Amino acid sequence: MTDSPTPPAPIAFLPESRRPAPPTTEAQRKAEATRTRIADTAESLFRTMGYQKTAVADIARELGMSPANVYRFFPSKSAINEAICARLLGAIAAGAEAVVNGEGSAGERFRRVCHHYFTAFLSSFFREKRMHDMVAAALEEHWEVIDRYIEHEQALMVRLIEEGIASGEFRPGDPVSLADVCTTCVVLWKHPLLLEQCATSLGETPEILTERLDATVSLLLRGLAA
């Protein structure tokens, strides 16, 4: 039996002002270890209780420390929420980047990366509903981490189109404008709230959604083709 491939390291989406500097002393390394323990514990509680029901006191109790000590490392509960959301989106973004960096033509990687986003968010809805709700809230409330995630997603799409144009696979055009059109056309399959509405209100199955994504990507690739 072969080992599963190691997933790529999550991409950092927290603003630099809210990211701790790389530790250089023993005291800083201990502080960073504590911060990581707090984030790990918060994420575990978010998965079982939900991010809204999890209080700083719950996190502190699990860790055997006071809430005041938690606030030494995170200034607010909102900061913890955003840090965990950044972890989740960072993992999805790292997976997408691995697809774009992988083998295949620009068109093949375009299709795979669209399916990667769809599968990631669909999985979070069906298997990790409490975490799905947090990302959905982040989108609705315009958390800063969302803007950084969208910028990364857009940059990957621009890069794919640039590579397709350079290789002659795609017709010449403005990669940024073409990427805008493409991301808009597939937004349904990578937006947690829209996916939830399709699954609950419209009763669409993952199989139906997958077929429609394939058809949409095929249409886009025909439009991009040289």
The amino acid that residue 174 corresponds to is D
C-alpha–C-alpha distance, residues 169 and 95, integer Å: 24
C-alpha–C-alpha distance, residues 9 and 120, integer Å: 16
User: What is the DSSP code (8-state) at residue 190?
Assistant: G
Q: Which two tokens stand for residue 118?
A: 């769809």
End-to-end CA distance of the chain: 43
At residue 121, the pLDDT reads: 87
Q: How many residues does the chain have?
A: 226
At residue 202, the pLDDT reads: 80
Q: Is 110 in contact with 217 (CB distance < 8 Å)?
A: yes
**Helices and strands per DSSP (H, E), number in the chain:** 10, 0
Q: Mean pLDDT of successive 10-residue segments in the chain (226 residues)?
A: 56 60 76 92 94 95 96 93 91 94 97 95 81 86 88 96 97 97 94 83 87 97 93
At residue 196, the pLDDT reads: 81
Reference 168, options 111, 221, 110, 226; nearest CA is: 226
Please state the separation of Cα 179 from the chain's center in Å.
18
Q: Is 133 in contact with 51 (CB distance < 8 Å)?
A: yes
